[in-house]
């Protein structure tokens, strides 16, 4: 190994001809970039810098710098035939450390998976890589799919400095950590057939239930962390005095007041020239609404009116959220059905019900529920749907109790004349794929629905209806046999 010193950095390189690569490299306490590409006669080289801060970082940099650790782990993994970019050397300075790696012509697995027509080959490759990590007793500790690169000749593992290699025992917890971290970004996008094939290729189909339970737990922790960071500057958020902007929307939604839309004991909703402003009388509801907006932004789910910023509450002023104005883009589900349902042909009704149920099925699979899912809180767009009253969104697993409440709320807030067949079709398609007793749930929904009055906002105003020909406690108008 070639050792040398440049700009107060000690370098340890695989060969002397790599020396020109480190010329001009310097440390920076606040680096604008933590990596760069440098050209070499044998190919491009990826140079990554780890900045260390605080006492813990200073001690780590003295004992085992992260650059050196990644270099050593790359050597060990390569020796065990686990594909990773070839390590070429490392450097240690006073503020941090560097690692030099062979640059791959590759893209992150998640991007490749989304763009490729060879999904199954990619999933097979991921299963085999995870199987190899298990057999070699390697726990990556940060195995999200940005750290698995898809190259023409296969998959490569990167970002190794947190990796641990067990000498004797690789526990079930170690195995599940690798699996859940790797699958969390794509699992909801996989079909059931793909999931079965993946775990068969992995060689342990019996571990699937534990992995799926671990994925739910990992998702809950991820969402909780995004909620906590909803009021801090992040890659998605910018803090400016008493406002928190979603990145890229700074300076937007500053138009003039136009009209009052609604006011009650909970909120005041106003239309401004370029946005809708929702002012919350309760700071807790404001906080909950903004957390939901932020989490959905991280999830990249366009299922609520897009927010621009949150104005914090102060001693003499209520807080509010400035968001997209949906006026002229559609209308609430109850009004839409009252206006359009009778005009629809049977095929159009089937298509509409299918689209609406797919929307809710997707939300529920992402662990997104709405505590006040009346039809007036579902907005029908020319293409797609959005949820209103964002403060009532909850990120929870869709239990049978939650599903019952959701279906009862929707059943009793749309016109009574909506056909039983369409209501049943919506129920079956929305709950497709969930491990629940659908007959039992349907029975509970129909009994609870028939014991409530139907109330909705129709095209001509507020309407109240009852189930025709059915009194409380009598036989329900719904039946699964009438599909």
Do 344 and 375 lie in one domain? The reply is yes
What are the tokens at 426?
């919506």
Return the pLDDT at 193: 92
* Same structural domain, 336 and 470: yes
Select from 304, 323, 342 the last residue of a domain: 323
Q: Where residue 46 sits, what CATH number does that domain have?
A: 3.30.200
In sequence order, what DSSP letters do the residues of 88-118 get, joined into one string?
Answer: EEEEE-SSEEEEEEEPPS-EEHHHHHHH-S-
Assess whether 349 and 465 both reside in one domain: yes
CATH number, domain at 120?
Answer: 1.10.510.10
Both 149 and 215 in one domain: the answer is yes
- Do 261 and 271 contact (CB within 8 A), yes or no? yes
Q: Using one digit for the tens of pLDDT, what is the confidence trace for 100-139?
A: 999 999 999 999 998 878 899 999 999 999 999 999 999 9
Predicted confidence at residue 472, as pLDDT, reads 44
The 3-state DSSP class for residue 323 equals strand
Structural domain ending residue among the three candidates 323, 357, 390: 323
Cα 456 to Cα 337, 359, 466: the distances in Å are: 10, 21, 12
405 and 459 assigned to the same domain: yes
Q: Domains in the chain: how many in total?
A: 4
Full residue range of the structural domain in which residue 41 is found: 2-102
Domain match, 319 and 336 both:
no
pLDDT at 474: 42
Same domain, 117 and 72: no
Cα-Cα-Cα-Cα torsion 313, 317, 318, 323, nearest 10 degrees, comes to: -80
Residue 31 has pLDDT above 80, yes or no: no
Q: Which residue carries 């109850």 as its tokens?
A: 334
Same domain as 314, residue 172: no
- The tokens for 15 are 């060969």
Does 75 lie in the same domain as 164? Answer: no
pLDDT tens across 278-307, in order? 999 999 999 999 999 999 999 889 999 999
The fraction of the chain above a pLDDT of 90, given in percent, is 71
Shared domain check, 128 and 93: no
How far is it, in rounded angstroms, from Cα 140 to Cα 154?
Answer: 18
pLDDT of residue 268: 96
Among residues 303, 323, 343, the one where a domain terminates is 323
Q: Any idea what the CATH number is for the domain that residue 406 is in?
A: 3.90.1200
Same domain? 296 vs 175: no
Q: Are residues 215 and 115 in the same domain?
A: yes
CA atoms within 13 A on the CB side of 113: 23
pTM for the model: 0.75
């Amino acid at each position: 190994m070639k050792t040398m010193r440049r700009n107060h950095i000690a370098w340890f390189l695989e060969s002397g001809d790599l020396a020109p690569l480190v010329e001009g490299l310097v440390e920076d306490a606040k680096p604008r970039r933590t990596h760069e590409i440098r050209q070499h006669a044998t190919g491009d080289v990826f140079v990554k810098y780890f900045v260390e801060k605080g006492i813990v970082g200073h001690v780590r940099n003295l004992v085992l710098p992260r650059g050196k650790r990644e270099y050593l782990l790359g050597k060990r993994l390569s020796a065990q035939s686990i594909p990773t970019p070839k390590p070429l050397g490392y450097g240690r300075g006073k503020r941090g450390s560097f690692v030099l790696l062979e640059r791959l012509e590759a893209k992150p697995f998640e991007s490749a998976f989304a763009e490729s027509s060879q999904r199954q080959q990619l999933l097979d490759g991921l299963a085999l890589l995870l199987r190899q990590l298990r057999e070699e007793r390697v726990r990556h500790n940060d195995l999200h799919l940005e750290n698995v690169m898809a190259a023409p000749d296969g998959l490569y593992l990167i970002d190794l400095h947190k990796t641990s290699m067990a000498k004797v025992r690789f526990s079930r917890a170690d195995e599940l950590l690798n699996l859940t971290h790797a699958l969390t970004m794509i699992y909801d996008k996989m079909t059931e057939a793909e999931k079965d094939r993946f775990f068969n290729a992995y060689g342990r189909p019996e571990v699937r239930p534990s992995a799926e339970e671990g994925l739910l737990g990992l998702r809950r922790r991820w969402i909780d962390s995004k909620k906590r960071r909803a009021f801090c500057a992040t890659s998605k958020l910018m803090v400016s005095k008493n406002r928190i902007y979603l990145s890229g929307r700074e300076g937007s939604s500053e138009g003039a007041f136009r009209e009052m839309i609604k006011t009650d004991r909970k909120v005041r909703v106003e239309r401004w020239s370029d946005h809708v402003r929702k002012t919350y009388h309760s700071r807790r509801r404001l906080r909950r609404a903004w957390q939901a907006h932020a989490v959905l932004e991280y999830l990249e789910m366009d299922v609520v009116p897009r927010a621009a910023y949150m104005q914090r509450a102060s001693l003499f002023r209520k807080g509010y959220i400035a968001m997209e104005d949906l006026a002229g883009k559609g209308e609430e589900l109850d009004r839409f059905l009252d206006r359009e349902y009778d005009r629809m042909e049977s095929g159009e009704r089937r298509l509409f019900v299918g689209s609406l149920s797919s929307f809710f099925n997707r939300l529920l699979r992402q662990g997104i529920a709405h505590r006040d899912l009346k039809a007036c809180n579902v907005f029908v767009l020319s293409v797609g749907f959005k949820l209103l009253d964002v403060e009532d969104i909850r990120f929870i697993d869709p239990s049978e109790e939650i599903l019952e409440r959701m279906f009862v709320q929707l059943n009793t807030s749309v016109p009574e004349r909506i056909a039983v067949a369409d209501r049943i079709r919506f129920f079956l398609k929305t709950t497709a794929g969930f491990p629940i007793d659908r007959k039992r749930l349907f029975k509970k929904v129909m009994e609870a629905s028939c014991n409530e009055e139907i109330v909705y906002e129709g095209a001509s105003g507020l309407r109240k209806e009852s189930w025709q020909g059915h009194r409380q406690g009598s036989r329900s108008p719904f039946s699964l046999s009438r599909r």
